[in-house]
């Protein structure tokens, strides 16, 4: 199968009624499970987030990255990938900032006041609204997955075990006419990632057969991806896909990601219902941030499957 023939499934979440046994709910449930088992991601249409809000957060992202470097460096964190990232020799085109506890107005305002000494109420308002509405999509996706496996009883614990991180990301256009690396090949480590971008493509996903294909979402859709934490929690039933960003052309790419991240101290453990003779336990229980620390050790970085090396059963 040639890479040009691979397309992500497109799933419509607009006006979806959250009612079990409702035909549209059952149809979307089946589509989500298939997509996450086969691709580890899909394209979602979700009209609840209006276009003017999406445009506003992209414009706010542009303004954010136009700030002086000294301002952006204030975005520090003791958690990996939660603070400012930029000027890295391996990925010189990439720059990003993080807002932890992104549903908390105080966290967003603290971040905004760090970046703009005079404040930026519009940025705070738009990011908070965007994160709140996108978190609804995250929770719908996770509810559909748990229902599809008959694990509804774990829903409250599953949702309450995570916080939300927003990452605002910029990929500069290459200095040459050649395609250049924007972000190295990786799998996300969290539960679920939801991405929205401006109209500049670059995201590539690796299919199960090893081929890479370009993801080309419409301006009205989001890309939903499974992280390794959800892969482990479902005992490998969901696929966590390798992906990267490749840049070409003369226009910068902006994307905003909402990441559902396990809370510190929460132990990720497959429910007993997910383990049987056909599906033996793949991973021992583990704590997310301890695994992230391991990933950045020499042993973790050289491993082809760091999660397996860290806590494989």
**Does the residue 280 lie in any domain?**
no
Q: Is the pLDDT of residue 89 over 80?
A: no
Domain count, the chain: 1
Confidence of residue 5 (pLDDT cuts 50, 70, 90): confident
**Does the residue 306 lie in any domain?**
no
Q: Has this prediction a pTM greater than 0.85?
A: yes
Percent of the chain with pLDDT over 70: 97
DSSP bridge pairs for 96: 85, 169
CA contacts within 13 A on the Cβ side of 147: 19
Per the structure block, which two tokens stand in for 298? 């020499």
Q: Residue 126 sits in which domain range?
A: 11-264
The Cα–Cα gap between 292 and 294 comes to: 5
Q: Is the pLDDT of residue 183 over 50?
A: yes
Q: What is the predicted pLDDT for the residue at 241?
A: 96
Cβ-count burial 71-94 (b if 16+ within 10 Å, e if not): bbeebeeeeebbbbbbeeeebebb
**Does the residue 308 lie in any domain?**
no
Per the structure block, which two tokens stand in for 151? 């694990």
Tell me the C-alpha to C-alpha distance, in Å, between residue 196 and each of 101, 164, 255, 266, 297.
19, 15, 5, 28, 31
Q: State pLDDT tens for residues 257-308.
A: 999 999 999 999 999 999 999 999 999 999 999 999 999 999 999 999 999 9
- Long-range contacts of 87-93, Cβ-Cβ distance < 8 Å, separation of 24 or more: 90/181, 90/184, 91/181, 91/182, 91/183, 91/184, 92/172, 93/171, 93/172, 93/173, 93/174, 93/180, 93/181, 93/182, 93/247
Q: Is the pLDDT of residue 2 over 50?
A: no
Q: What is the predicted pLDDT for the residue at 86?
A: 92
Q: Is the pLDDT of residue 4 over 60?
A: no
**Does the residue 277 lie in any domain?**
no
Q: State pLDDT tens for residues 94-109.
A: 999 999 999 999 999 9
Pairing outcome for strands 221-226 and 212-214: unpaired
**Does the residue 169 lie in any domain?**
yes
Pairing outcome for strands 267-268 and 286-287: antiparallel
**Does the residue 272 lie in any domain?**
no
Per the structure block, which two tokens stand in for 146? 């748990």
Tokens 């900032």 belong to residue: 97
Q: State pLDDT tens for residues 34-78.
A: 999 999 999 999 988 999 999 999 999 999 999 999 999 999 999
**Does the residue 300 lie in any domain?**
no
**Does the residue 310 lie in any domain?**
no
User: In terms of DSSP H, where are the helices of the chain?
Assistant: 23-38, 51-65, 69-72, 105-115, 121-148, 155-160, 228-233, 288-295, 298-302, 306-311
Q: What's the burial of 34, exposed, middle or buried (CB within 10 Å: 0-12/13-18/19+)?
A: middle
First-last CA distance in the chain: 33
Read off the pLDDT of each residue in 1-26 and give the average, rounded to a whole number.
78
The Cα–Cα gap between 163 and 157 comes to: 12
Q: What is the predicted pLDDT for the residue at 151?
A: 97
For residue 16, give the CATH number of its domain.
Answer: 2.60.120.330
């Amino acid at each position: 199968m040639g890479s040009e023939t691979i397309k992500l499934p497109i799933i419509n979440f607009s006006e979806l009624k959250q009612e079990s046994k409702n035909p549209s709910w059952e149809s979307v449930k089946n589509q989500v499970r298939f997509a996450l088992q086969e691709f580890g991601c899909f394209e979602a249409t979700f009209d609840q987030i209006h276009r003017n809000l999406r445009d506003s957060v992209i414009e706010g992202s542009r303004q954010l990255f136009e700030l002086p470097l000294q301002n952006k460096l204030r975005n520090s964190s003791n958690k990996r990938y939660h603070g400012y990232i930029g000027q890295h020799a391996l990925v010189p085109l990439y720059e990003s900032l993080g807002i932890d506890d992104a549903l908390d107005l105080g966290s967003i305002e603290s971040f905004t006041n760090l970046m703009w000494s005079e404040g930026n109420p519009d940025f705070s308002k738009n990011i908070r609204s965007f994160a709140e509405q996108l978190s609804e999509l995250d929770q719908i996706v996770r509810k559909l997955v748990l229902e599809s496996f008959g694990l509804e009883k774990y829903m409250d614990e599953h949702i309450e075990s995570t916080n939300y991180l927003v990452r605002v990301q910029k990929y500069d256009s290459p200095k040459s006419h050649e395609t250049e690396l924007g972000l190295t090949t990786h799998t996300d480590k969290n539960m679920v990632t939801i991405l929205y971008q401006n109209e500049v493509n670059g995201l590539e996903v690796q299919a199960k057969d090893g081929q890479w294909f370009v993801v080309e979402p419409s301006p009205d859709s989001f890309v939903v991806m499974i992280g390794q934490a959800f892969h482990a929690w479902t005992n490998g039933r969901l696929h966590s896909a390798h992906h990267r960003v490749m840049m070409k052309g003369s226009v910068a790419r902006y994307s905003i990601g909402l990441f559902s991240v396990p809370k510190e101290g929460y132990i990720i453990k497959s429910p007993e219902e997910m383990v049987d003779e056909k599906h033996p336990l793949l991973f021992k229980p583990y704590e997310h941030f301890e695994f992230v620390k391991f990933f950045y050790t020499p042993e973790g970085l050289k491993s082809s499957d760091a999660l397996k090396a860290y806590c494989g059963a």
